[in-house]
């Protein structure tokens, strides 16, 4: 056995022992080492960028469509991503990685990227794929709402919420049923 083969062998054996020993702590309150976190971040950002490159963006600048997107965001996303200016939900506080807030997402991601993320979800993070259950139209409406505002305040959010109270629209899941979230 050459030195290198010996080292690889030892490395694999130690790795396997660690893997099956249960020593790694999967607790959501035990964060990754910061270098692992940075690595995962770069991995995720580049993956999203590459996979969303060929998404074709439809026309999004329509007031009713934006309102529909707001309603969808309010029903489907606030449990984890919160409402601007409001205290964090129990789920938001406990999830790891922590779901970014609305304004952070608007700032960090482009239109194609947002659509791709919402449609596909993010592996091993708690971010669900809405493409499994919802139409592309409903997903685009959320993107239309998110991209309409640079920075949405607590008050803007309240005004939007009032404006959709009597809106005659409920999104329909792919199974054909109207679900209340």
Per CB under 6 A, residues contacting ligand HEC are 44, 73, 76-77, 79-81, 95, 97, 99-100, 105, 109, 114, 117-118, 122, 125-128, 130, 142
Q: In angstroms, rounded to a whole number, what is the distance separating the alpha carbons of residues 141 and 66? A: 6
Nearer to ligand HEC, 131 or 158 (CB): 131
Nearer to ligand HEC, 13 or 133 (CB): 133
Smallest separation (angstroms) from ligand HEC to the CB of 16: 28
Are the C-beta atoms of 63 and 140 separated by less than 8 Å? no
Nearer to ligand HEC, 14 or 36 (CB): 36
Nearer to ligand HEC, 3 or 177 (CB): 177
- State phi, psi for 99 to the nearest 5 degrees: -65, 130
Smallest separation (angstroms) from ligand HEC to the CB of 14: 29
* Nearest one of 134, 122, 131, 127 to 173, comparing CA atoms: 134
Smallest separation (angstroms) from ligand HEC to the CB of 23: 24
Smallest separation (angstroms) from ligand HEC to the CB of 158: 19
């Amino acid at each position: 056995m050459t030195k290198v083969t010996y080292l690889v062998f030892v490395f694999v054996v130690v790795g396997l022992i660690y893997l099956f020993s249960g020593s790694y702590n999967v607790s959501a309150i035990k964060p990754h080492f910061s270098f692992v976190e940075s690595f995962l971040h770069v991995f995720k950002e580049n993956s999203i960028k590459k996979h969303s490159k060929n998404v074709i963006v439809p026309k999004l600048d329509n007031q009713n469509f934006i309102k529909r997107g707001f309603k969808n965001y309010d029903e489907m996303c606030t449990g984890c991503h919160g409402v601007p200016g409001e205290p964090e939900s129990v789920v938001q506080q406990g999830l790891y990685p922590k779901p970014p807030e609305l304004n952070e997402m608007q700032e960090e991601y482009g239109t194609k990227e947002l659509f791709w993320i919402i449609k596909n979800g993010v592996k091993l993070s708690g971010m669900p794929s809405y493409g499994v259950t919802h139409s592309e139209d409903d997903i685009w409406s959320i993107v239309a709402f998110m991209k309409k505002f640079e920075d949405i305040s607590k008050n803007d959010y309240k005004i939007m919420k009032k404006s959709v109270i009597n809106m005659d629209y409920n999104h329909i899941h792919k199974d054909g049923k109207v679900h209340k979230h």
